[in-house]
Amino acid sequence: MRKAAAGTTVAALGALWIFDDALTRTAKAQTRADGRPRLPPGQKVISKLRPMGGTPGDPSRARFRLRVHGEVASPRVLDFPALRALGETVRPADVHCVTGWSVLGARWRGVPIAAVAELCRPTRHARHVIFEAAGGYTANVRIDEALADGTMIVWELDGRPLPGRHGGPVRALVPDLYFWKSAKWLTGIRFVRRDEPGYWERRGYHNHADPWREERYA
Render the burial of 1-37: b for 16+ CB within 10 Å, e for the rest.
Answer: eeeeeebbebeeeeeebbbbeebbeebeeeeeeeeee
**pLDDT at position 190, please?**
98
- To the nearest whole percent, how much of the chain has pLDDT over 90? 88
Q: What letter represents residue 36's amino acid?
A: R
The Cα-based distances of 72 to 49, 53, 111, 116, 120 in angstroms read: 34, 31, 19, 11, 6
Average pLDDT, stretch 14-35? 85
Looking at the chain, which runs of residues are DSSP E strands?
2-4, 7-12, 15-19, 44-45, 65-70, 76-79, 89-96, 101-112, 128-133, 138-142, 152-157, 160-161, 171-173, 186-192
Q: What is the mean pLDDT of residues 133-160?
A: 97
Is residue 25's pLDDT more than 50?
Answer: yes
pLDDT at 15 over 60: no
CA 70 to CA 14: how far, in whole Å?
39
Total Cβ atoms within 10 A of residue 87: 10
Chain mean pLDDT for the chain: 93
- Do the domain assignments include residue 23? no
In a domain, 92, yes or no: yes
Residue 217 predicted with pLDDT over 70? yes
Higher pLDDT, 41 or 2: 41
Q: What is the mean pLDDT of residues 185-200?
A: 98
Q: Is residue 19 part of a domain?
A: no
- The pLDDT score that the predictor gives to residue 7 is 52
Any domain includes 7: no
In a domain, 22, yes or no: no
Domain count, the chain: 1
pLDDT tens-digit profile of 120-129? 999 999 999 9
pLDDT of 213 over the 50 cut: yes
Q: Check if the beta carbon of residue 16 is closer than 8 Å to that of residue 10.
A: yes
Is residue 48 domain-resident?
no
Q: Is the pLDDT of residue 13 over 50?
A: no
Strands 186-192 and 65-70: parallel
pLDDT at 17: 62
Confidence category of residue 159, pLDDT binned at 50, 70, 90: very high
Q: Is residue 218 part of a domain?
A: no
Per residue in 61-116, pLDDT (tens digit) is 999 999 999 999 999 999 999 999 999 999 999 999 999 999 999 999 999 999 99
Its pTM surpasses 0.95: no
Does some domain include residue 90? yes
Phi, psi of 168 (to 5 degrees): -65, 150
Cα separation, 56 vs 165, whole angstroms: 8
Predicted confidence at residue 16, as pLDDT, reads: 53
pLDDT at residue 1 is higher than 50 = no
CATH number at residue 155: 3.90.420.10
Give the domain extent around 79: 57-213
pLDDT at 19: 87
